Every structure is written in C-alpha cells, then in structure tokens.
Amino acid sequence: MKYPHLFTPLEIAGTLFRNRLLSSPQGYYNIGPDLFPNDDMAAYFEIKARGGFASVCIGDCIVDWKNGRHYDWLLPMDNPKMLPGLSKVANAISRHGAVASAELSHAGMYAQASHVAGAELYGPVATVNRYGEVKEMPEEMIEQTVAAFGRAAAFAKQCGFGMVTIHGGHGWLISQFFSPQVNTRKDKWGGSFENRMRFPLAVIDSVRKAVGKNFPIEFRLSGSETNPDGYDLEEGIKFAKAIDGKVDIIHVSAGHHEVESAAIITHPSLFLPDGVNLQYAAAIKKHVKSYVATVGAYTDPAHMEEIIASGQADLIAMARQTLADPDLPLKARSGRDDEIRKCLRCSECFGSVGKHRIFYCSINPVIGYEKESRYLPPVRNKKQVLVVGGGVAGMQAALTAAERGHRVILCEKSDKLGGVLRCEEKVPFKAKIKTYLDLQAHLLEKAGVEVRLQTEVTPQLAKTIKPDVIIAALGARPVVPQIKGINLPHVLGAEDIFLQPEKTGKTAVILGGGLVGVELGIYLAQEGRSVTIIEKLPELSIDKFSLHTLALRDQIKKLGIKIYTSTSAREITGTAVLADSPAGKLELPAETVIYAVGQQPLREEALALAQCAPEFYQIGDCLTPKNILAATQAANTLANNLGR
C-alpha cells in the first residue's frame, strides 16, 4: 500500500475507524424554515462516506436553540422532531462504513440570531459586543447549559450517530469560558485556570454520562486563537492537557470566528501553505495521550502520510477538500493520486453559502447537486462532440461528455490547455490553479478525449469533422477602456503582466478593482512594486461573502496597496494617471499602467460555428464572463444533458 500509515485502521472507544482521514465538521444550510434535515442534506454528507472517509461530521448542531444559535438555519438538537431527518442523515453516513458524528455547539455571547429573536445574550461575564449587551450567565443557567450538551449527545446517539464532537474552539461558548482574556468571573466558574476549566470539564462529563463509556467523544479546540486579544499556544496546551483522557480525540484547530485576521487562519487562505496549522496539533500531541487530529488546508496524501508516520498527529481532518474531491480516500488508497482534485482554497464554497446558503465548489460541479447527480438518466444516443476551446469550461465539458460515453474531440488554438488562467502560473499564491488545469488535461487523456492543440476551428474545419454537437467555449478578450493615453507603450493588460511581470516598473496603477485587478496588485506588491488600484464603484468589486475577500483585504493592508474607490481615470500620461475622485482631481504616479476592467465575450466567433452541427451550444466566458464555478457547472450540466 502506498500510504500504509494513512490507511491503518484505528480503534477508538470500541469503534473502528477504517483509516486516519476525517471529514471535519461542516454545516448544511439548504433546509426549509422548519429546519428539518432533508434528502439533499443526506446526499451531501453521504458522498463523503461513500468516498472512504473514516468519519463524517455534521456541523452546527445547537444544544440550546433559544439561547445559543448564531444563525437561524442551524440544527436545533433540543427539538425531538428532528429525529427522523437526523436519523436518515446518520444512516446515510454509517451504512457506507464511516462513523457519523454530530458537532454540539453553543454560540454564547455571539448568539446573534437568538438575540434578534428576543433572547438575552449570555456569556461568562457582562460586556458589550457588536451584537449587543451581554449579561453574565448565572450559575443556574450554566448548569442548564451543561445539561443541554448531555441531552443533545444522547439525542445524537438515539439518531444513530456513532460519535459526538464537542465544539470547544473558535470563540464559541466553551472557549469563552476557558479564555483568560474573556472569563474574569469572580466565582468558581472563572478567573483561575482551574475555575475557567470547570465549564468545559462539566460539559465533557455531562456528554460522557449521556453516551456511555464505549462511545467516542471528539473535542474541538483552538490550539491558539491566533490574535493578540485571544489565548496563545501555551494556553492551548494547558487546555488540551486538562481534557486529556476525558475525551477520545482532541481535534486541534486554530483561530477565532469573530476576528477576521484569525478567521482566515481557521480556514487557511490561499496565501498560507498547506497544513499551516499543524504546528498547534504537533505541539499538543507531545503533551497528551488522547488521539490528536489536525485540520487546515490538507490536500496531498503524501503530505498527510508523512504527518501520521512522523507522529505529529494521529488523524487528518479535512473540510473544503471534501468538497473538491469526496473520493480522496478511495483514490489515495487505490493508487489513483493522479486523479485527486485538490482544493484551490478560492473559498467560493463560503461565498455561495453566504449568498445562497448552499455549498458549491469551483472545481467539483457535483457539490450542491449530490442527489440529482446520482440519478442521471442513461445516454440513449452517443454522439460525436466537438468542443471548441480548451479553457476551464471546454475541458470540463469534454471530460463530462467523455465520461458519459460520447466521442469527443477538443480543439484549442494555443499550444496548451487551460485558457486564460494559464497566465497566472507564475503567481505563487495561485499555484493550485496550475495543478487543477494540469489535472483536467491529464483526466482528458485518461478519458480518451482526442485533443488537438494549435488548432483554430473554422466553419470549414467543423464541417470536415462532421460533429453531431458543437460546444463553443472560446472564452473572452480583455476590455480595453477608452481613456486618453491608453495606447501608450507603458500601458498593458492584466494578462500581459501576469505573463511577464518583469515589464512592470517600480510604481504601478491598476485600473479596475475586481478580483483580477486586486490579485494582480497583491502579486506585484509582493514582488516589491508600489501599487495603486482605481475602482469606479464605491467598493472593490470582490465577493463580500467570501472568506477569500477577507484574505485579500488582509494582504492589501499588509502590503500597503493604495485603493481609490468611486474614482475614474480621466487620462494616462507618460508618468501618471489623472483621475477624478470624491476628494477631487488626482495625479497618481505610474511607471506602468495596467487595465483590468472586465472581459468581452467572443460571441461572434462562437456564433460563426452555429450552423456547422445539428446541435450547437455556447458555454463559459464566450457566453457570459463569470468565474471558474459558473463555467464548471454550466459545462457539466450541458454535457450531462447530451444524448438523452
């Protein structure tokens, strides 16, 4: 076996875990106003179990709905009407041989949804936060909350879950009681270390009494809250030592959900290396006998194998990677590493949850459509499919069509598959884009797709091929803003600079504050340039719901990038950009000016092929320029519909 340590089973509290790979707690929010778990939820978690993970954890199970919920679309574990729905979810996981776990949580002084509904905010001490006035939790309520954790654990066991995960990290109630910065109570529930541990230990004891001895309990904590106002690793080690032996797995995360700079460490941004939070688990592992799990940006089985083999952790937990490829365990065990889709850490999943309360994944079009993807109708008429364009949309369309049994030819006019995203290959924090594009090209080869590079498809060529279906995925061209001086030699497009960053002078002004302009600005600033970004709109045009946006803003601040919003460039001179802003006229020094103001779809070029096959479709940027997620979903859906 290629990864013997990773796939060595582990018996924990009488329960067999088939390998060392855990699907970390994730919530599911595509549920109705009654909050009952549905078939979509069961399918969402089931594919992770079917993919070979040893354990699959349902996140955000609230033990006290009235007082402890941060959002209104979480699971109320104190509502017995959840029984049939939760039982179906637990069974969907366990019937595939994975251990189903329920994460038990209470938001404490951050229970904003409970507060909006009329409940008081309660925490270890009286204070004021951004949600309102917080009252000190009286002892009677503390004891009720301890009991609520036990009842929730018993309910989870009744539903068929084989483990419970106590959420004691990320700034929620249990960590509020532990925190020396927060919990300055004067009674037995706060102040000293012994008193601050009283509540976490009482919760563990309550849960243990509820589930019994031979039932695994996982405890999730922040090894460090990774911000100046939170506790550090030294305190995290003390926390872990205090619960050692009382729980079976210590799941070591990091960060604090209320602190932006810490939240992008909890969910590592693409500016951080793989496994960045291993340091906390490895440090704690030296001090405890309980099994230790590490979490945070793991994608590579070889990396994970080394961690287990070296004794830095006993288990590896993954969250976003289970969306990118739920089959990672099966692929790694069977030697198909070359087929694993590795998470880009683009955080599109967080963005889609923020906007729609539904998880989607940029590189896995099945996510969000797990149930319907299991019941695709058979292909009745296998067809000859010509895909024109080898970018993200074209590659996915060709791959899905081939997997469905069609004969596929993919033509790309350049000498390499990948489309416009190939221009970002030199950007260190976008390295995973190259990995993804290379993977798609490799999968096309394995699927038997005929790839023709340096082949521009004309109507004449298309008629020669005689396809049944043409899928046009020609992409788009950069929009060139009509500004005086735009044709000067030091004015270039974003794609040109990504390809040849050495063309950039010491000072650069970027026209356009969308994702392309902002990421390019960060790249150039990291390379030592002084960067200014101009955006016409009142805010940067980046997804406000995505964690990636927090990471971008963090980089902008650290690198000292100047941002001018509600600002329009009026003229480009040989040495500056003249602009109009709310503060008046600006003259911004610029040795190089870069435009990144959007894309113009190549619709006419695509439509020239419309009469060359019985079926004709346009997808991706040549239809409407969007992003990887939109291109991947549209391509997969279209290809699945062929031949019905």
Each residue of 167-226: pLDDT tens digit? 999 999 999 999 999 999 999 999 999 999 999 999 999 999 999 999 999 999 999 999
Q: Under CATH, which architecture does the 10-372 domain have?
A: Alpha-Beta Barrel (3.20)
Q: What is the mean pLDDT of residues 85-101?
A: 98
Question: Which element (helix H / strand E) includes 441?
Answer: helix 431-446
What residues have CB less than 8 Å from 7, skipping those under 6 apart? Answer: 1, 19, 20, 329, 332, 333
Question: Would you give the DSSP letter of residue 278?
Answer: H
What residues have CB less than 8 Å from 147, skipping those under 6 apart? Answer: 206
Q: Each residue of 412-440: pLDDT tens digit?
A: 999 999 999 999 988 999 999 999 999 99
**Tokens 């955000």 — which residue?**
60
How would you classify the pairing of strands 530-534 and 562-564?
parallel
Name the 3-class secondary structure at 345. Answer: coil
Name the 3-class secondary structure at 222. Answer: strand
Question: Which element (helix H / strand E) includes 99?
Answer: strand 99-105
Name the 3-class secondary structure at 481. Answer: coil
| Spatial separation of the C-alpha atoms in residues 179 and 420, rounded to whole Å | 48
What residues have CB less than 8 Å from 472, skipping those under 6 apart? Answer: 388, 389, 606, 609, 616, 617, 618, 619, 622
Q: Each residue of 117-152: pLDDT tens digit?
A: 999 999 999 999 999 999 999 999 999 999 999 999
Give the chain's mean pLDDT.
Answer: 97
- Considering the chain, tell me which residue range(s) the CATH 3.40.50.720 domain(s) occupy: 378-478+600-641
What residues have CB less than 8 Å from 100, skipping those under 6 apart? Answer: 49, 55, 56, 58, 89, 90, 91, 93, 94, 160, 161, 162, 163
Q: What is the mean pLDDT of residues 462-480?
A: 97
Residue 546 scores a pLDDT above 90: no
Share of the chain above pLDDT 70, in %: 100
DSSP letter string, 151-211: HHHHHHHHHT-SEEEEE--BTSHHHHHH-TTT---SSTTSSSHHHHTHHHHHHHHHHHHHH
Residue 1 scores a pLDDT above 90: no
Of the candidate ranges 40-49, 280-289, 371-380, the one whose mean pLDDT is the lowest? 371-380
CATH number of 378-478+600-641: 3.40.50.720
Contact 164, 104 (CB under 8 A): yes
Name the 3-class secondary structure at 91. Answer: helix
| Spatial separation of the C-alpha atoms in residues 244 and 222, rounded to whole Å | 15
- Considering the chain, tell me which residue range(s) the CATH 3.20.20.70 domain(s) occupy: 10-372
Q: What is the mean pLDDT of residues 590-597?
A: 98
| Spatial separation of the C-alpha atoms in residues 243 and 572, rounded to whole Å | 63
- pLDDT of res. 32: 87
> 296-308 as b/e, with b when 16 or more CB fall inside 10 Å?
bbbbbbeebbebb
| CB atoms near residue 370 (< 10 Å) | 20
Q: What is the mean pLDDT of residues 518-522?
A: 98
Rama region for 8: left / alpha / beta (φ>0; ψ in -120 to 50; rest): beta
Contact 300, 283 (CB under 8 A): no
Q: How far is CA 505 from CA 274, 488, 520, 529, 584, in A?
A: 32, 14, 14, 7, 26
- Considering the chain, tell me which residue range(s) the CATH 3.50.50.60 domain(s) occupy: 491-597
The residue among 585, 598, 441 whose CA lies nearest residue 516 is 598
Give the tokens for residue 326: 């739920």
Q: Each residue of 244-290: pLDDT tens digit?
A: 999 999 999 999 999 999 999 999 999 999 999 999 999 999 999 99
Confidence grade of residue 81 (pLDDT, cut at 50, 70, 90): very high
CATH number of 491-597: 3.50.50.60
